[in-house]
Amino acid sequence: MKKIKTFGLIVLAVVIVIVIFWFNGAMGRTDLVEPEIALIVEKGDVWHKGSTDNDFQKVEKFKIVSEGDIIKTNGNSVARISFFDTQEVMVAEDSQVVITKGYINSNSPLLTKVRVKLQKGQVWSRLMNLLHPSAAFEVEAGTVVATVRGTAFNVTLTDITVEVFVYENDVDVSLVGEAAILANMSAGDKLTYDLVKKTYEQETVGTDELKLQQKEEPWIYNNIMMNRNFENYLETKRQAIISDVGLLPDHPLYGIKTGFEKIRLLLSGTESSYKQKLETKRGIEIQGLIDSTKVTKAIEQLKIAEFNKQTLATLQRLQSFDKEFTNKLSRYDGLRKVFLGKIFDQSVAAFIANKIQGLDSEEVQSVDSGELKLEVEQDLAKPKIEPVVIEVQESEPTYGTADDQVPSSESTEQETTVESIATDEPATTGESATLEDPVTTDTPAVTEEQPAITDSGSTDQPEELVVPVAQSLVVTANPASLIPDASSKLSANLIYSDGSKLDVTEQINWSASGDSISGNDVGSLKGNIFTANRNGGATTISGTYRPDDNSSFTGQTTITVLLVSTKLRN
């Protein structure tokens, strides 16, 4: 009897420990630190001089820096300056830069202003797309200023020249103190400005020359390799923040979580920092609902939070490193209506509405274009899938063009309530869609009055009869970034026209390409398991599914094996 009692106490203790651990996880924690400018030593000797310091001090590993600070590197040294998580400047060896501007609006974190002055050497910059019309990122060198809104580019300063090389997207080059644009540059363009003659030459680097340059110049090659992981790193960080927040509002035990929070809030006082943490946590939870496509619930939580300033600022922080944010607004009518009509001010709403309208056709394509975009990781080029043509009744578009005026918060409040615009259904032109298979309306800007939606979520338009038909194959790798000798599990889902999925991983023929730059294999496949070797690089994984002899579906994803940290550190 004594042994049974002892055993029972042990079991009870184990259960209590498990419950405590579960409860701590369910309550979650808030790890969204305040935005800052961080200096990270990647390799060698890096020196820092504050705006009020007399001398340079050696930085060991990491240091928070600010406007007016100077950073310099010795030979065989590399430094990284991270601005507010979403913008980075890599400082090459024997280089020196000054942070002349480093601003973020705490109430509207999409508004950032960054300016770096290169005094000697070279820097590589990369950043997420800026989503605020007044946001800016500039690199000054000599009398030249490179201005961007989301790109990767390199700037080199010598005694007599400034060289700007654009790796992706666009860069505008101007002269210091002049508003006129000297040159518009696109990916592959190189501009050399003569500081003595005050003239410049612009050329487009050919594909073969670019590949040769990437192979022969370690600085370029290493940064290109790191670019591949930049957005993945930010997305992993964003998802970790959401995961750590604990139970989301759609969980049946969420009420217990908020109940304990209210008790703690009463004990700590309503004016304590804990209240601000809770408001931050609500914003993270809402972003988690959006990521889970539970848009109606997300909008409901925004209303419950009464569009709290801290909650909205948290949402904007998370959206600033979500490369799919504009696509999500394009897909979901209710979400777009709330964000562009109520959360963002009019200028920001109009700016984002224009970005939605101008989404590149390779990122989001409408059903009317005759093609469906297969979205997979890393934004790789995908084979085009012939669409299944379904006759649907034409209806008035939900939104007008970006030239129309975006309504203010007040007018939106009068026209419709939050409940009347909330919907979990993506914005489409008649066919269903999921986050894995996005489609969008032709005219996304918020201007036209939305069709009436009842409380049940149904519209006054007749429901179309859609017969589910296989349309595309989505291939994913978990994880998508590996260290040498690590493995990634591949999976494949067949996507149907009604948004449903079918796991066909076991029926897939897999293949892997060599690295696009070096041509070397970066790992091996065994079934749906990819194991990385020590070559480093990126491989394109292709999966082909053949349901019968007359049809096949192919999807692709990328796995990156990074050796950068090994190369850069002593």
Please tell me the distance from the alpha carbon of residue 457 to that of residue 412, in angstroms, as a whole number: 19
Average pLDDT over every residue of 407-424: 38
H helix count then E strand count, the chain: 13, 26
What digits encode the pLDDT tens for the residues 531-553?
999 888 899 999 998 876 667 89
Confidence of residue 476 (pLDDT cuts 50, 70, 90): very high
d(CA 207, CA 187): 11
- Indicate the range of 108-122, 311-325, 430-444, 464-478 predicted with least confidence: 430-444
Are 10 and 3 within 8 A, CB to CB?
no
What are 372's strand-pairing partners? 385
Determine the distance from the C-alpha atom of residue 315 to the mean position of all C-alpha atoms in its chain, rounded to a whole number: 13
Distance CA 225, CA 258 (A): 43
CA distance 484 to 36: 32
Domain spans of the chain, in order of start:
37-205, 235-421, 470-568
Give yes or no for a cis peptide into 479 (omega within 30° of 0). Answer: yes
Architecture of the CATH domain 470-568: Sandwich (2.60)
| Helix, coil or strand: residue 171 | strand
Three-class SS of residue 481? strand
Q: Is the pLDDT of residue 397 over 50?
A: no
What per-residue confidence (pLDDT) applies to 429?
38
Token reading at 280 = 């931050």
What is the pLDDT at residue 12?
Answer: 66
Band the pLDDT of 208: cuts 50, 70, 90: low
Q: Of 40-49, 219-228, 395-404, 466-475, which gets the smallest average pLDDT?
A: 395-404
3 Cβ neighbours under 8 A, 6+ residues apart = none
Q: Which amino acid is at 171?
A: V
What is the DSSP code string of 364-396? ---GGGT-B----GGG-----BPPPP-------
Do the domains at 37-205 and 470-568 have one common CATH topology?
A: no
Q: Which CATH architecture has domain 37-205?
A: Sandwich (2.60)
Return the structure tokens found at 307.
């569009």
Residue 384: pLDDT above 90? no
| pLDDT attached to residue 2 | 67
Most confident of 164-168, 198-202, 364-368: 198-202
Mean pLDDT confidence for 519-533 = 90
Residue range 499-509: mean pLDDT, rounded: 84
Bridge-based pairing of strands 112-127 and 136-141 is parallel
Q: Each residue of 507-530: b (16+ CB within 10 Å) or e?
A: ebebebeebeebeeebbeeeebeb
Query: Per DSSP, which regions of 289-443 are E strands?
Result: none
**Percent of the chain predicted with pLDDT > 70:** 70
* Residue 468 confidence (pLDDT): 63
pLDDT digits (tens, 9 = 90+) for 83-105: 998 899 999 999 999 999 999 98
Phi and psi for 14 in degrees, rounded to 5? -65, -45
